[in-house]
Each structure stands twice: as C-alpha cells, then as structure tokens.
Amino acid sequence: MAGNEIGIGEVSRRTDCNIETIRYYERIGLVPKPERTASRYRIYAREDVQRLVFVRRARELGFTPGRDTRPPAARPSASAASGRDAR
C-alpha cells in the first residue's frame, strides 16, 4: 500500500471504531465504499478516516445514523414524501 492508503485494522485503531461497525457504515452508505487492492483488501484514504472520526464524535453527542436531524418544520410532510396530495 502507498503511504496515504490505510488498511481497515489501522482505520479501526485510529478512529476507535470496531471493524464490523466500519463495514456496517459502508453498507448503509454513511461512508463511501473504499478502494480495494488486487487481493480485495479494503484501503482507505485520510479523508475516510476523518469522516469516521466525525461520525464517531456525532454518535458520542447523541446523533444516530440515518436519523433526520432537521427541525420538524424543515422535513417533508408524510403526504409529500409519498407523492399524495395533503387534503
């Protein structure tokens, strides 16, 4: 690996995030899927590590992945989200 490419184990150590948690965040789209080596090992860039640190910190502050944190007035209504007219 080049100097700016980091394996999942090192990413886990740097972010204090479990390897399975990192894989889960990839599956749900919270972090982008990383590049892979010819032998299919995940390789991460520095930006990926920074994003995981941010996500970890947000979770410590009480935010959860996938939760809509916008105020209720800023969220689309249920009828608008379903494509139906609100009457």
85 has a pLDDT exceeding 70: no
pLDDT in tens, 23-72: 999 998 888 999 999 999 999 999 999 999 998 998 888 887 766 656 66
Q: Do residues 82 and 45 touch, judged by C-beta distance below 8 A?
A: no
Check residue 36 and give its pLDDT.
93
In a domain, 51, yes or no: yes
pLDDT at 81 over 60: no
Q: Looking at the whole model, is its pTM more than 0.75? A: no
Phi, psi (deg, nearest 5) at residue 6: -125, 135
In a domain, 68, yes or no: no
Asked if the structure places residue 74 within a domain, the reply is no
Question: Residue 53's domain spans which residues?
Answer: 6-63
Residue 25: inside a domain, yes or no? yes
What's the CATH number where 43 sits?
A: 1.10.1660.10
What's the total number of domains in the chain?
1
| Nearest-angstrom CA–CA distance, 34 and 41 | 9
